[in-house]
């Protein structure tokens, strides 16, 4: 049990942070530290999703190694990696989060991002009348994550968006302005103080494939499936591999996450490796948040569709070839080149970025001082349950709605029914 439970636990605000994958932990680590340092807060930690899976490197162990107490570990991933299993994992996750929340009785649940595991936690908390704070709301992207993110916002009672645009979008979506507590992604905090301690040995003691010399130029590839185009992911990753094979530059590739289609990507990588035994490709399962960011800070070019290529790579000025539409619509800075998931386009993008070299640092996604602000917000916010679309608290303009109604109806109704409808309308 969490040591913080002792002492004057009764009076502390119980803040339950949910971690559902390696990337979550990478971003939230500064927040966890900041929460534990606040005497008014008691940290509760739930590790779920791929955090607890050996197949994904058992990242929960990193959390424990860093000295955090993990209050609940839950297993929610149904094997299969199809859209149907993804839906069922979501359903199962709601059940399991409900059990944990019933046990831990948090005052606030803190979620980050847009994964279905986070959505499941939001649903469980909301239906159990627990106040929710959400980090990274209001962003725009592709895949089903786009809808999941906004749905989480609709259940969240407080928001910590990462960019000014996101904050603005949340307000436009009807979230109460007072519920939006500051701006910035906490991963910028790690980036800000990052010391480069990583060595080639760290990389070469993990994963499989030929050794990598990180003192020489190398590439980093992370490519996840895009659920909304399930079935196309194999061809897409083969496009990346073809472009890489042409370049023959030493490359570190991380295995994909667990979304629908991931098994197809993994299979394509394994087949490529078994067929061609590439001397330049090393595959890894899991890295600590710091080591991942150190790699990202140092790599010649990052290739793929991880959202960290948009956020964190910008802070480092690392060139990125962003492949496909998984991040479509997300705010990016100039370090990013968008390409379609086709070998020729990826090659062209790679050549362009390698020629350009590093970019200036961008603080679009945070100034490196975010976690303290979030922790302060968690201390000062007032938990409440009943949300309402904020529009109703603004000036009433019923007259205008009536015109809009006419507009809508007119636009849609054609032919012989239209007149009748118009007559029937008030």
Instruction: Please list every residue from 397 through 426 that binds its own copies, using CB under 8 A.
Output: 398, 400-405, 408-409, 412-413, 417, 420-421, 424-426
**Residue 128: CB partners within 8 Å, gap ≥ 6?**
98, 101, 102
Instruction: Please list every residue from 302 through 341 that binds its own copies, using CB under 8 A.
Output: 325, 328-329
Exposure of 248 by Cβ count < 10 A (0-12 exposed, 13-18 middle, 19+ buried)? exposed
**What's the CA gap between 410 and 40, in Å, rounded?**
57
SS (H, E, C) 306-353: CHHHHHHHHHHCCCEEEECCCCCCCCCCCCEEEECCCHHHHHHHHHHH
Instruction: Please list every residue from 19 through 58 that binds its own copies, using CB under 8 A.
Output: 52-55
Instruction: Please list every residue from 119 through 138 that binds its own copies, using CB under 8 A.
Output: 119-120, 123-124, 126-129
Q: How far is the CB of 135 from its own copies (least distance, A)?
A: 14
Q: How far is the CB of 350 from its own copies (least distance, A)?
A: 26
When asked if residue 369 is in the footprint of its own copies (CB under 8 A), the reply is yes
Closer of 227 and 308 to its own copies (Cβ)? 227
When asked if residue 263 is in the footprint of its own copies (CB under 8 A), the reply is yes
For helices 145-155 and 116-127, angle between their N-to-C axes, nearest 10 degrees:
20
Choose, by CB under 8 A, the member of 114, 117, 146, 294 that binds its own copies.
Answer: 146
When asked if residue 193 is in the footprint of its own copies (CB under 8 A), the reply is no
Q: How far is the CB of 330 from its own copies (least distance, A)?
A: 9
**What's the CA gap between 17 and 71, in Å, rounded?**
10
Q: How far is the CB of 312 from its own copies (least distance, A)?
A: 16
Choose, by CB under 8 A, the member of 35, 76, 293, 371 that binds its own copies.
Answer: 76
Choose, by CB under 8 A, the member of 368, 371, 375, 378 that binds its own copies.
Answer: 368
Applying CB under 8 A, the span of 242-250, 298-306, 309-317, 357-365 interacting with its own copies comes to 357-365
Choose, by CB under 8 A, the member of 19, 47, 111, 167 that binds its own copies.
Answer: 167
When asked if residue 359 is in the footprint of its own copies (CB under 8 A), the reply is no
When asked if residue 155 is in the footprint of its own copies (CB under 8 A), the reply is yes
Contact predicate 341/229, CB 8 Å: no
When asked if residue 276 is in the footprint of its own copies (CB under 8 A), the reply is no
**What's the CA gap between 144 and 307, in Å, rounded?**
14
Where b means 16+ CB within 10 Å and e means fewer, 5-17 reads eeeeeeebbbbbb
When asked if residue 114 is in the footprint of its own copies (CB under 8 A), the reply is no
N-terminal to C-terminal alpha carbon distance within the chain: 63
Select from 219, 328, 297, 333 the least CA-distant residue to 26: 297
Closer of 36 and 363 to its own copies (Cβ)? 363
Closer of 143 and 288 to its own copies (Cβ)? 143
- Strands (E) located in 162-258: 219-222, 251-254
Choose, by CB under 8 A, the member of 12, 13, 38, 88 that binds its own copies.
Answer: 88
Size (the chain), residues: 426
Contact predicate 358/217, CB 8 Å: no
**CA distance to 50, 146, 164, 305, per residue, from 54 (Å):** 8, 28, 38, 24
**Residue 423: CB partners within 8 Å, gap ≥ 6?**
none
When asked if residue 81 is in the footprint of its own copies (CB under 8 A), the reply is yes
Closer of 156 and 350 to its own copies (Cβ)? 156
When asked if residue 379 is in the footprint of its own copies (CB under 8 A), the reply is no
**What's the CA gap between 110 and 114, in Å, rounded?**
13
Closer of 300 and 332 to its own copies (Cβ)? 332
Residue 115's Cβ-side half-sphere holds a number of Cα atoms within 13 Å equal to: 28
Number of residues that bind its own copies (CB under 8 A): 114
**What's the CA gap between 17 and 213, in Å, rounded?**
37
Choose, by CB under 8 A, the member of 93, 198, 301, 303 that binds its own copies.
Answer: 93
When asked if residue 144 is in the footprint of its own copies (CB under 8 A), the reply is yes
When asked if residue 7 is in the footprint of its own copies (CB under 8 A), the reply is no
Closer of 41 and 76 to its own copies (Cβ)? 76
When asked if residue 147 is in the footprint of its own copies (CB under 8 A), the reply is yes
**Residue 182: CB partners within 8 Å, gap ≥ 6?**
160, 370, 373, 374, 377
Closer of 146 and 294 to its own copies (Cβ)? 146
Applying CB under 8 A, the span of 40-48, 62-70, 92-100, 299-307 interacting with its own copies comes to 92-100
């Amino acid at each position: 049990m969490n040591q913080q439970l002792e002492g004057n636990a009764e009076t502390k605000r119980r803040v339950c942070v949910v971690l559902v994958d390696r990337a979550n932990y990478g971003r939230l680590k500064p927040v966890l530290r900041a929460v534990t340092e606040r005497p008014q807060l008691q940290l509760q930690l739930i590790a779920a999703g791929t955090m607890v899976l050996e197949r994904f490197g058992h990242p929960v162990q990193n959390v424990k190694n860093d000295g955090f107490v993990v209050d609940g570990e839950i297993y929610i991933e149904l094997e299969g990696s199809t859209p149907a299993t993804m839906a069922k994992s979501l359903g199962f996750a709601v059940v399991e989060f409900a059990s944990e929340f019933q046990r831990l009785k948090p005052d606030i649940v803190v979620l980050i991002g847009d994964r279905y595991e986070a959505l499941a936690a939001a649903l469980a908390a909301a239906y159990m009348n627990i106040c929710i704070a959400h980090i990274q709301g209001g962003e725009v992207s592709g895949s089903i994550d786009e809808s999941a993110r906004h749905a989480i916002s609709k259940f969240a009672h407080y928001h910590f968006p990462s960019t000014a645009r996101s904050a603005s979008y949340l307000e436009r979506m009807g979230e109460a302005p007072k519920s939006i507590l500051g701006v910035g992604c906490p991963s910028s905090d790690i980036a800000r103080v990052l010391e480069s301690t990583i060595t080639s040995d760290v990389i070469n003691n993990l994963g499989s494939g030929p050794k990598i010399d990180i003192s020489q130029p190398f590439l980093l590839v992370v490519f996840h499936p895009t659920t909304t185009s399930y079935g196309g992911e194999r061809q897409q990753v083969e496009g990346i591999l073809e472009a890489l094979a042409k370049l023959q530059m030493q490359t570190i590739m991380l295995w994909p996450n667990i979304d629908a289609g991931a098994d197809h990507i993994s299979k394509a990588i394994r087949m490529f490796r078994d067929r061609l035994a590439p001397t330049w490709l090393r595959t890894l399962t899991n890295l600590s948040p710091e080591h991942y960011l150190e790699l990202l800070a140092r790599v010649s070019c990052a290739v793929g569709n991880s959202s960290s290529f948009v956020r964190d790579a910008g802070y480092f000025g690392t060139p990125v070839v962003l492949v496909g539409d998984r991040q479509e619509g997300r705010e990016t800075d100039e370090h990013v080149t968008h390409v379609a998931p086709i070998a020729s386009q990826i090659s062209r993008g790679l050549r362009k970025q390698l020629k350009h070299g590093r970019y200036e640092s961008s603080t679009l996604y945070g100034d490196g001082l975010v976690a303290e602000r979030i922790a302060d917000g968690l201390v000062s916010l007032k938990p409440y349950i009943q949300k309402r679309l904020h529009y109703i608290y603004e000036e009433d303009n019923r007259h205008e709605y009536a015109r809009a109604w006419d507009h809508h109806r007119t636009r849609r109704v054609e032919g012989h029914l239209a007149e009748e409808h118009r007559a029937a309308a008030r």
